[in-house]
Amino acid sequence: MQISEKSKQMELSPIRRFNEMARDAENRGIKIYRVNIGQPDIKTPECYMEAVRNYPDDVIAYMESGGTDDLREAVSDYYASFGDDFAPDEIMITSGGSEALSMVFTTILNEGDEVLVADPYYSNYSTFVLSAGGQIARIPTHAEEGYHFAYRERIEQAITPRTKAICCTSPGNPTGDVLTQDEMHMICEIAEEHDLWIVSDEVYREFVYDGGAVASFGREKEYLDRIIITDSISKRYSCCGGRIGILISKNRDVMNGAMKLAQGRLSVSTLDQAGAAALFRLPTSYYDEIRDEYEKRRDIVYSELTKIPGVVCVKPRGSFYVTVKLPVDDIEDFLVFLLTEFEDKKETVMFAPADGFYYDSERGKNKMRLAYVLEGEQMRRSVELIRLGLEAYEKKQAEN
Ligand SMILES: Cc1ncc(COP(=O)(O)O)c(C=O)c1O
């Protein structure tokens, strides 16, 4: 018996691969700073817990497949608060942003269709696109340019007769790159010219630093028929385990197609939808506080990174990730060294090797992705451990 070719093409998560080695190090009494995964340490707002605790019904029943009216109204109001007009029936609640993405690609792709992404990209896109029968196609980016991809010629060069959609992640994972509203507009023009869908993954929407404006494809009113937005409570509200995501589109075919999949899986967690509705009703000051906290962390991480000889890193403008070129030939070998041989005062650090985020893993062989999900002092120590680890690694290599 054989499993499918689709499944064979998929990869295990590059982020979770080194967990066993990390556990072994912990069993040896080593403290590990885990900056490999986008799991923030920020407290989930209390209103979520209260809404779950005070849930009034005696039976935790199935809810409507597209989500509860209460949550969809709360999401619609949240979007209206920054000028985007989406009615509750243009909003579907999903099990995390992950399910929203999976439903979108299943709804829009035929066998062999290509989805354009800026390379490196959030590696699960590949899983979702492949399982929907599509293929990833890439827009190359460069560390020296901060991995920015929004250049008309570069995007147009990557379009082929098989291209069906362009998937944009702004602010971005794994690079922290951010699109301006003008750049989103330019991408809409290209999409219209080539008749492409735009899948806009906006799970990090408010995480924009240096006074940058929060942009959204939802504001591109003339193009809304081809725009599909995916969103989530995971990062914005530090509620990764709540597993509530959102799919938004004014295109009825997309919403009807997604509804067939939603009905197939019946419903999303009832209690978590109650909690999520409370989150979307938080005052806007909440977003400012969270952004300021991550911006502080970003500044610490960047300033510590620039102390490492040979790194290439442009200050990221958004999300809570930075992808950094290091003076090593094999990033996985360096990570294994950090987890199995290196320690400083019984401490070491774990990042995500960036090769797993690249279309061609060779291009990520000398890069790491850091998630600044720990508070400032711990982030400072994490980067210090990378610097000390590099010195020890270079010494070891010189001796061999
Ligand atoms: C860019 C991006 N999109 C989507 C997701 C999925 O998030 P969730 O399924 O937790 O909502 C993540 C998670 O890390 C992400 O980084």
* Token representation of residue 371: 């998630």
Q: Is residue 201 in contact with ligand 1, taking CB distance under 6 Å? A: yes
Q: Is residue 318 in contact with ligand 1, taking CB distance under 6 Å? A: no
Q: Residue 400: its pLDDT value, please? A: 80
Preceding amide of 120 cis, omega within 30: yes
Nearest atom within ligand 1 for CA of residue 244: 11
Which residues pair with residue 352 across a beta bridge?
369
Q: Residue 217: its pLDDT value, please? A: 97
What digits encode the pLDDT tens for the residues 228-285? 999 999 999 999 999 999 999 999 999 999 999 999 999 999 999 999 999 999 999 9
Strands (E), 31-122: 31-34, 91-94, 114-119
**Where in the chain are all domains bearing CATH 3.90.1150.10?**
5-43+289-395
Q: Are 217 and 122 in contact (CB under 8 A)?
A: no
**pLDDT over 70 (residue 79):** yes
What digits encode the pLDDT tens for the residues 16-28? 678 999 999 999 9
- State the Cα–Cα distance between residues 195 and 274, nearest whole angstrom: 38
The model's pTM is: 0.95
Distance of CA 193 from the midpoint of ligand 1 (Å)? 29
Q: Are 108 and 254 in contact (CB under 8 A)?
A: yes
Q: Are 136 and 117 in contact (CB under 8 A)?
A: yes
Q: Residue 206: its pLDDT value, please? A: 96
**Given the structure tokens 């939603």, which residue do they identify?**
262
- State the Cα–Cα distance between residues 50 and 186, nearest whole angstrom: 43
Distance of CA 186 from the midpoint of ligand 1 (Å)? 25
Q: Are 121 and 113 in contact (CB under 8 A)?
A: no
Q: Is 266 exposed, middle or buried (0-12, 13-18, 19+ CB in 10 A)?
A: exposed
Distance of CA 70 from the midpoint of ligand 1 (Å)? 23
Q: Residue 12: its pLDDT value, please? A: 75
Q: Is residue 234 in contact with ligand 1, taking CB distance under 6 Å? A: yes
Rounded mean pLDDT, 7-14: 78
Overall fold of domain 46-280: Aspartate Aminotransferase; domain 2 (3.40.640)
Distance of CA 175 from the midpoint of ligand 1 (Å)? 14
**Where in the chain are all domains bearing CATH 3.40.640.10?**
46-280
Residue range 5-43+289-395, CATH number: 3.90.1150.10
Q: Is residue 355 in contact with ligand 1, taking CB distance under 6 Å? A: no
Preceding amide of 161 cis, omega within 30: no
- State the Cα–Cα distance between residues 319 and 38, nearest whole angstrom: 10
Q: Are 134 and 172 in contact (CB under 8 A)?
A: no
Average pLDDT for the chain: 96
Rounded mean pLDDT, 337-341: 97
Amino acid type, 349 = V
In the three-class reduction of DSSP (H, G, I as helix; E, B as strand; rest coil), residue 303 is classed as: helix
Q: Is residue 245 in contact with ligand 1, taking CB distance under 6 Å? A: yes
**pLDDT over 80 (residue 14):** no
Q: Are 307 and 301 in contact (CB under 8 A)?
A: no
Q: Residue 6: its pLDDT value, please? A: 84
- State the Cα–Cα distance between residues 65 and 260, nearest whole angstrom: 9
What digits encode the pLDDT tens for the residues 177-217? 999 999 999 999 999 999 999 999 999 999 999 999 999 99
**pLDDT over 80 (residue 15):** no
Q: Residue 10: its pLDDT value, please? A: 84
Q: Residue 382: its pLDDT value, please? A: 98
Distance of CA 38 from the midpoint of ligand 1 (Å)? 9
